[in-house]
């Protein structure tokens, strides 16, 4: 945490003149070990273990800090409190400075731990540096019994883990247990149960699991070893003694995670940051040897034993929330999907991204690259779960998934291959006259102009009404891309208004034309729809953005999404149902990872029960669509 604050604004004086204030209480506190200070012209910059703050606002602040630092290092401010009169501006400034130090966790209880059997004082120094209440943390560690279990309890890996636990204040015994080569299980026995982490060191890589029960740690270790071994360049196992630096890093990291959990401290992963960490999901440490590194990554393990791990992840509420899950799902070492990327693809007039799937490359296009990335991840997950069939639908939450599923049932089609799509299936509709003139929506006019004028397609749009109240329209765009060639279906869309349907169908046609010109080798093509509008509508909107801007258009579309889904459910007679693969099937790890990220998997199968993918579907509870209705 970092910040820049003014320390000159003083709180209101106490009600009673002799009421104790922060300066009086300073005798019970001292500066946290490891905190360093740099005097600035009008303030002071303080740096702690994971905290930094600049206090500025007055030329007197450096002098105030010198007096306060001396008091903290000597008598705890007894002399200073007696010398500065109560109610004076100087005392108010000192109290304000002490309050800022407390807010940023830069003070610790004087006396800290009482020894508590902590070996050599190293653990005490560590707890004074990182713990809010070092004495309580020390007492918890003193009452903890730790064990290091492995096939080779006298090997270099086990000895390194044992030393790290000893230095952390918890004596550890090493014992033999049959585990795979290169793997350890560290267990802490507390009065209220057991906590464990598993660690592994192999040829070129290592890992440390999140803290959990011994069963959960074993399950995580097996899955991590399998995933990391699959992507490792070396791929083989190695005796940990052959990799001393990596062995020491992994052993110390495993001990640190277990000690923090036993002492009631935050997990070390809380100090890390970045796109590969989700705040409500556990993290695994992934280590490498060349170069030597250790990095925490969100871990979406497929085998969820502990009750807190089995809970589904929070449903994304905004497009930014959904996009934050993509680096986790597409992590090159721990993820279950290939992360979509624009690479060298053009981003105008439409945004294009690509990713790999087991059956071939996939390309996704949309009005913006963030929308294209979300569509690509959802379609890639569908292909991972059930192949190229259209029965399974993935979305960033139940509302998004239901919108994608009902559009697909009503005739919106992703292209299964590089051949032209067939005319859409779905309920019959009544033709509606539409012309790219007059009072059409600015977005429909824009995407039609892109298709016809910029890309030079001789196109025509067929619009039909498939539901009346609430309204739902289907648009099919056909066109000739080669002079004299036959017209073919280039894009389809199902939306709440005729203009929206034409806009998305023309946008889809533009995506198809651009994909054929720039990525003819890819097998799968994902076309855009308005289902993602409910997520994108929450983006910040500038005051000048009218309906011609994408963000404003998404907001309009999101406002009609609930009505549209009701209309499509009635028109198609389909009720998308949550789907779950059978345990032990190849789809299970992908489904589990999606669920932990708050994504939903729905089945469009007509009736509940086991389907051709080997999973089961069940009735879907009523899930209101976010946004205005």
Same fold, 2-109 and 430-572: no
Stated as kind and residue range, the H or E segment containing 354 is strand 351-357
Phi/psi for 354 (5° steps) reads -140, 155
Strand runs labelled E in 434-554: 458-467, 472-480, 488-495, 524-526
Characterize 352-377 residue by residue with b for buried, 16 or more Cβ atoms within 10 angstroms of its Cβ, and e for exposed.
bbbbebeeeebbbbbbbbbbbbbbbb
The answer to whether residues 207 and 171 touch, using CB atoms and an 8 Å cutoff, is no
Alpha-carbon distance of 243 to 215, in angstroms, equals 27
Give a three-class secondary structure readout of 537-572. CCCCCCCCCCCCCHHHHHHHHHHHHHHHHHHHHHHH
Give pLDDT, residue 139: 72
Write down the pLDDT at residue 80.
75
Domain 430-572 falls under CATH 3.30.160.20: yes
How far apart, in whole angstroms, are the C-alpha atoms of residue 458 and residue 452?
Answer: 6
Low-confidence ranges of the chain (pLDDT < 50): 1-16, 113-120, 234-241, 610, 612, 622, 624-629
Q: What are phi and psi of 78, to 5 degrees?
A: -60, -50
The reported pLDDT for the residue numbered 597 is 92
How far, in Å, are 34, 129, 137, 389 from residue 123 at the CA level? 14, 10, 10, 58
CATH of domain 2-109: 3.90.930
Going from N- to C-terminal start, the domains of the chain cover 2-109, 143-298, 430-572
pLDDT, tens digit, 9 for 90 and up, residues 342-393: 988 998 899 999 999 888 899 999 999 999 999 999 999 999 998 655 589 9
Query: pLDDT digits over 76-113, tens only?
Result: 667 777 677 777 888 788 888 888 887 777 777 765 54
- Are the CB atoms for 496 and 561 separated by under 8 Å? yes
- Pairing label, strands 360-366, 615-617: unpaired
């Amino acid at each position: 945490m970092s910040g820049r604050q003014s320390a000159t604004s003083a709180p209101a004086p106490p009600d009673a003149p002799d009421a104790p204030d922060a300066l009086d209480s300073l005798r019970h506190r001292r500066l946290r070990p490891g905190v360093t200070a740099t005097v600035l012209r009008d303030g002071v910059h303080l740096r702690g273990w994971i905290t930094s703050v600049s206090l500025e606002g007055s030329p007197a602040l450096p002098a105030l800090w010198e007096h306060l630092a001396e008091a903290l290092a000597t008598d705890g401010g007894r002399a200073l409190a007696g010398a500065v009169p109560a109610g004076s501006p100087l005392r108010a400034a000192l109290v304000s400075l002490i309050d800022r130090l407390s807010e940023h966790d830069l003070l610790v209880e004087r006396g800290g731990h009482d020894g508590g059997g902590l070996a050599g004082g190293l653990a005490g120094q560590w707890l004074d540096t990182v713990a809010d209440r070092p004495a309580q943390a020390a007492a918890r560690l003193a009452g903890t019994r730790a064990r290091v279990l492995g096939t080779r309890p006298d090997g270099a890996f086990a000895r390194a883990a044992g030393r790290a636990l000893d230095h952390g204040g918890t004596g550890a015994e090493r014992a033999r247990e049959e585990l795979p080569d290169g793997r350890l299980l560290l267990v802490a026995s507390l009065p209220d149960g057991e906590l464990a982490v598993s660690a592994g060191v192999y040829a070129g890589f290592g890992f440390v699991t999140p803290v959990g029960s011994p069963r959960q740690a074993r399950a995580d270790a097996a899955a991590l070893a399998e995933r990391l071994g699959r992507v490792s360049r070396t791929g083989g196992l190695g005796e940990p003694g052959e990799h001393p630096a990596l062995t020491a890093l992994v052993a110390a990291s495993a001990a640190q995670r277990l000690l923090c959990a036993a002492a009631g401290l935050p997990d070390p992963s809380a100090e890390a940051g970045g796109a590969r960490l989700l705040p409500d999901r556990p993290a695994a440490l992934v280590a490498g040897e060349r170069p030597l590194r250790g990095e925490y990554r969100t871990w979406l393990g497929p085998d969820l034993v502990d009750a807190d791990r089995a809970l589904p992840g929070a449903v994304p509420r905004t497009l930014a929330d959904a996009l934050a899950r993509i680096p986790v799902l597409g992590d090159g070492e721990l993820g279950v999907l290939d992360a979509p990327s624009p690479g060298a693809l053009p981003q105008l007039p439409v945004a294009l991204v690509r990713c790999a799937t087991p059956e071939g490359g996939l390309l996704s296009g949309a009005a913006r690259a963030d929308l294209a990335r979300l569509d690509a991840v959802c379609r890639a997950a569908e292909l991972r779960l059930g192949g190229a069939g259209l029965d399974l639908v993935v979305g960033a939450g139940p509302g998004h998934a239901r919108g994608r599923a009902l559009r697909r049932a009503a005739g919106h089609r992703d292209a299964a291959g590089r051949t032209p799509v067939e005319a859409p299936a779905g309920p019959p509709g009544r033709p509606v006259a539409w012309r790219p003139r007059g009072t059409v929506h600015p977005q429909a006019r824009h995407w039609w102009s892109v298709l016809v004028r910029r890309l030079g397609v001789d196109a025509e749009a067929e619009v039909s009404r498939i539901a009346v109240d609430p309204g739902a329209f289907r648009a099919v765009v056909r066109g000739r891309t080669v002079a004299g060639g036959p017209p073919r279906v280039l894009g389809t869309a199902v939306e709440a208004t005729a203009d929206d349907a034409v806009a998305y169908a023309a946008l889809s046609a533009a995506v198809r034309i651009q994909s054929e010109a720039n990525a003819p080798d890819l097998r799968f093509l994902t076309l855009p729809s308005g289902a993602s509008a409910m997520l994108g509508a929450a983006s910040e909107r500038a005051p000048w953005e009218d309906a011609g801007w994408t963000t404003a258009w998404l907001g309009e579309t999101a406002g009609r999404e609930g009505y549209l889904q009701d209309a499509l459910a009635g028109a198609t007679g389909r009720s998308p149902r949550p789907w779950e693969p059978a345990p032990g099937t190849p789809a299970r790890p992908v489904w589990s990872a999606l669920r932990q990220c708050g994504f939903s998997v729905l089945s469009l199968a007509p009736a509940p029960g086991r389907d051709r993918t080997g999973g089961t579907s069940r009735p879907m509870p009523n899930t209101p669509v976010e946004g205005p209705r």
